[in-house]
């Protein structure tokens, strides 16, 4: 089985020893044509890699109508939701023809990831990269990325307070999206957003009020960016927005809409008569216009954010 696993991208970069350990975890399952593998809402926690044949996934529409969603050939995988949270299957899966699957139980795979940290991190990174690249080829790319993140790994990659993506997800996604942009010669922009005067809210009022303010600002940002990009809470009162296929001009337009929406919002129910103004400062990094390599992609957005603060806050800034 180890030699077979070497052919599949999901196991790329793993050593022979690590592949040998994984081969002890996986078993093979032969499925006949039209055999159900997973049904929607199934609580089985297994991860599948197609070794031979073809698997189809179906989605249930209103009225209990099933529609074909995706096909999975040799090297493709499904059931990755079990790696992130014990949640029911979102789609149904059946064999389109006689197929052979490599199957791992979630506790065994999770144990491997926890004991062999470096190899486990590589495996998870491969899962994330391949999933994003697959979604990139669909017409509903951004909507599917959001759906994948929210449904398949909510407890691992989302911020508990706001419900938006967290820093861990963004750091992984950012590198993969940048690689995709390089390969496809498409623009990519990043916004770093900071709530102005937030320290005063915590010091003059309380941290609970500050948390409510963070939640409301996150909601405003989500409403503005809609399907344009991916929002993450990067830490404290700082948010990041990744904008695939957005050049500097488009990123600046979206940033200005966020800034003006926050400035024009009524936060009096949170701040009472404190007189603390709630605005945002936003820094932009845009490939290829303001940065040419990934090493400086986020750094340029941070520098631009600091510039916005230095220029008086409540503004959008970028460095050429």
pLDDT tens-place values along the chain, 320 residues long: 888 999 999 999 899 999 999 999 999 999 999 898 987 666 667 889 999 999 998 765 444 445 667 789 999 998 876 555 555 555 788 999 999 999 998 888 888 887 887 788 788 878 877 876 665 554 444 444 445 544 544 546 788 899 888 888 888 888 888 988 888 888 999 999 999 999 988 888 888 999 999 999 999 999 998 767 889 999 899 999 999 889 999 999 999 999 999 999 988 888 877 788 999 999 999 999 999 999 999 999 999 999 999 999 999 999 87
Q: What is the pLDDT of residue 39?
A: 78
Q: What is the pLDDT of residue 237?
A: 94
Question: How many other C-beta atoms are found inside a 10 Å radius of the C-beta of residue 140?
Answer: 11
Q: What is the pLDDT of residue 316?
A: 97
Question: How many other C-beta atoms are found inside a 10 Å radius of the C-beta of residue 155?
Answer: 10
Cis peptide before 45 (omega within 30 of 0): no
Q: Is 229 exposed, middle or buried (0-12, 13-18, 19+ CB in 10 A)?
A: buried
**Strand 188-195 to 280-287 pairing:** antiparallel
DSSP structure class, residue 280: E
Q: Are 318 and 290 in contact (CB under 8 A)?
A: yes
Q: What is the pLDDT of residue 169?
A: 83
> Which region, left, alpha or beta, applies to residue 232 given φ > 0 means left and ψ of -120 to 50 means alpha?
beta
Question: How many other C-beta atoms are found inside a 10 Å radius of the C-beta of residue 76?
Answer: 18
Pairwise CA distance, residues 40 & 50, whole Å = 19
Measured CA distances, 194 to 7, 27, 58, 203, 320 (Å): 45, 49, 41, 17, 21
Identify each DSSP E strand in the chain by its residue range: 27-31, 36-38, 46-52, 55-61, 65-72, 77-78, 92-95, 99-105, 165-166, 188-195, 230-235, 238-244, 280-287, 316-318
Q: Are 29 and 38 in contact (CB under 8 A)?
A: no
Question: How many other C-beta atoms are found inside a 10 Å radius of the C-beta of residue 161?
Answer: 13
Q: Which residues make up the CATH 3.30.70.270 domain(s) of the chain?
A: 158-318
Token code pair at residue 270? 């949170």
Q: What is the pLDDT of residue 102?
A: 95
Pairwise CA distance, residues 244 & 187, whole Å = 7
Pairwise CA distance, residues 126 & 2, whole Å = 17
User: Which residue, 162, 276, 160, is CA-closest to 212?
Assistant: 162
Sign of the dihedral defined by the CA atoms of residues 164, 168, 169, 173, in that order: positive
CATH fold group of domain 158-318:
Alpha-Beta Plaits (3.30.70)
Q: What is the pLDDT of residue 135?
A: 59
Q: Global pTM?
A: 0.56
Pairwise CA distance, residues 52 & 175, whole Å = 31
DSSP-assigned beta bridge partners for residue 56? 71, 94
Q: Which residues make up the CATH 2.60.120.10 domain(s) of the chain?
A: 2-123
User: Which residue, 253, 255, 252, 272, is CA-closest to 263?
Assistant: 255
Q: What is the pLDDT of residue 76?
A: 92
Q: Tokens 């960016």 belong to which residue?
A: 225
Q: Which CATH superfamily is domain 2-123 in?
A: Jelly Rolls (2.60.120.10)
Question: How many other C-beta atoms are found inside a 10 Å radius of the C-beta of residue 236?
Answer: 13
């Amino acid at each position: 089985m180890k030699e077979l696993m070497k052919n599949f991208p999901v196991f790329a970069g793993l050593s022979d020893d690590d592949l040998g350990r994984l081969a002890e975890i996986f078993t093979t399952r032969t499925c006949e044509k039209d055999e159900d593998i997973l049904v929607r809402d199934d609580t089985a926690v297994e991860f599948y890699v197609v070794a031979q044949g073809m698997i189809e996934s179906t989605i249930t529409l209103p009225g209990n109508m099933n529609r074909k969603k995706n096909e999975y050939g040799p090297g493709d995988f499904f059931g990755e939701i079990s790696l992130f949270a014990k949640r029911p299957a979102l789609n149904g899966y059946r064999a389109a023809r006689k197929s052979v699957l490599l199957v791992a139980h979630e506790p065994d795979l999770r144990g491997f990831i926890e004991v062999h940290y470096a190899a486990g991190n590589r495996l998870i990174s491969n899962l994330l990269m391949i999933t994003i690249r697959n979604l990139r080829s669909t017409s509903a790319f951004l909507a599917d990325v959001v759906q994948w993140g929210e449904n398949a790994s909510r407890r691992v990659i989302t911020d508990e307070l706001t419900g938006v993506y967290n820093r861990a997800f963004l750091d992984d996604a950012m590198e993969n999206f940048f690689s995709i942009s390089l390969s496809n010669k498409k623009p990519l922009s990043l916004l770093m957003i900071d709530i102005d005067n937030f320290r005063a809210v915590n010091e003059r009022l309380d941290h609970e009020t500050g948390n409510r303010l963070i939640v409301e600002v996150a909601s405003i940002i989500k409403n503005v960016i809609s399907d344009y990009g991916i929002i993450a809470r990067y830490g404290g009162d700082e948010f990041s927005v990744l904008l695939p296929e957005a050049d500097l001009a488009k990123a600046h337009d979206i940033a200005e809409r966020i800034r003006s929406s926050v400035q024009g919002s009524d936060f009096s129910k949170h701040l009472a008569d404190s007189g603390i103004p709630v605005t945002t400062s936003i820094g932009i990094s845009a490939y290829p216009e303001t940065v040419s390599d990934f090493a400086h992609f986020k750094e340029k957005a941070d520098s631009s954010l600091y510039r916005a603060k230095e220029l008086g806050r409540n503004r959008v800034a970028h460095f050429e």
